[in-house]
Amino acid sequence: MIPDYQTIMLPLLKLTSDNEIHKFRDVVELLAEHFKLNENERKELLPSGNQAIFDNRVGWARFYLTKAGLLKSEKRGTHQITEQGLSFLKSKPAVLKTKDLDKFKQFVDFKNSIDKKATTDTNDSEEIEEQETPEEALEYAYLKLKNDLSRDLLETIKSCSPAFFEKLMVDLITKMGYGGSRKDAGKALGKTGDGGIDGIIKEDKLGLDTIYIQAKKWENTVPVREIRDFAGALLSKKARKGIFIATSNFPKSAYEFVESIEHKIILIDGERLTNLMFEFNVGVSTQSTYEVKKIDSDYFEY
C-alpha cells in the first residue's frame, strides 16, 4: 500500500540525518524500499498520468519539511537536513504529521500566508487531508466530476433518437480522423443494414482501407453472440477491420473472442464511448479551465 505523504515525512527526515546532501531521486528509491513497495505501487500514476503517486507524495513530504525549517534545499533536486531538523530528531518522535509542524514558526508563517477557503469540519474531510496531496485532491475531484458527467452523458445518449445517435457516431468518427469528410462518413454510416453491419467508413481520407461498423444503443450487457454475428458479417465481406459500439458493456467472453480471431475488431462500450467524446469534444463543452503551474527552475538558474 502506498503511504500518504504525512507517513513519509518522518522516514524522509531520518534518511537525511547523516547531514549529507541528498538527491531527490535517490531518496525516492530508498523510501520505496523502506515501505516495501512493489513495482506496481511504485509505478501507479495520478489520474492525469503525469507523475507517479509515490513520487508526488515524497515531493510534498519534502515540501512541508522544508517549509517547517527541518530541511533545506540550496540546489535544485537536492535537500539537506538543518540544525533544527537534527534537533527535532534527537527528541525521538514516534510519528510526524503536518499538525506537529505547527510548533515551528516557519511553518506557521507559511500557513498564515495561504488564503484559506472555508471547509466543512467532518471526519471525511480530515481523512482526505491525511491521505491526499494537493494535486491528488484536485485530480480526484476532477475525476469525480468527469465520472458524474459521463453517467449523465450516457443516459442522454440512450434517450436520443436512432437518427441522432447515427449523427453522433458520424461526428465522433470524423473528429477522430476517420471517415474521410463528414459528408462521406454521413453517407457511409447507417446505410447498409446488411447482416449485422450498420455502416462502412474509410480508414483514412484516401480510402486505402475500410472499417465496418456496428453501433447500437444497448441497456444490458451485449451478448457475445452479437460479436460473433458481426465477425461473421466481416468474413462474408472479406473485411479485416471492424468497430462494435454499444452504450452498455461487453462480457469478458466478448473480449476473449475478438482476441482469438484473425479479424481486428475493436469493442467500444459506454464508458469508452463517453471518454472518446470527452477527448474529441463531441457533445460536451468546456465550462471552466484551471491551470496548475509550477516554478520554472531552469529560468532561475544563473
pLDDT in tens, 94-148: 999 989 999 999 988 888 876 443 343 434 434 334 557 777 778 877 877 888 8
Q: 160-279, what's its fold?
A: Trna Endonuclease; Chain: A, domain 1 (3.40.1350)
Average pLDDT value for residue range 73-100: 91
pLDDT range class, residue 280, cuts 50, 70, 90: very high
Delimiting residues of CATH 1.20.120 domain(s) in the chain: 5-132
pLDDT of residue 5: 92
- Rounded to 10 deg, the angle between the 224-236 and 252-260 helix axes is 20
Provide the percentage of residues in the chain whose pLDDT is more than 70. 84
Delimiting residues of CATH 3.40.1350.10 domain(s) in the chain: 160-279
Number of continuous H segments (helices) and E segments (strands) in the chain? 13, 8
Whether 15 has a pLDDT exceeding 90, the answer reads yes
Give the Cα separation of 79 and 12 in Å (integer). 11
Quote the pTM value: 0.59
- Is the CB of residue 188 less than 8 Å from the CB of residue 202? yes
Least confident of 35-44, 63-72, 198-207, 258-267: 198-207
Return the CA Rg of the chain: 27
Average pLDDT value for residue range 235-261: 91
Cα 135 to the center of its chain, rounded Å = 12
CB-count exposure of residue 285 (10 Å: 0-12, 13-18, 19+)? exposed
What are the phi and psi torsion angles at 81 (to 5°)?
-70, 150
pLDDT of residue 126: 40
pLDDT range class, residue 189, cuts 50, 70, 90: low
- CATH architecture assigned to 5-132: Up-down Bundle (1.20)
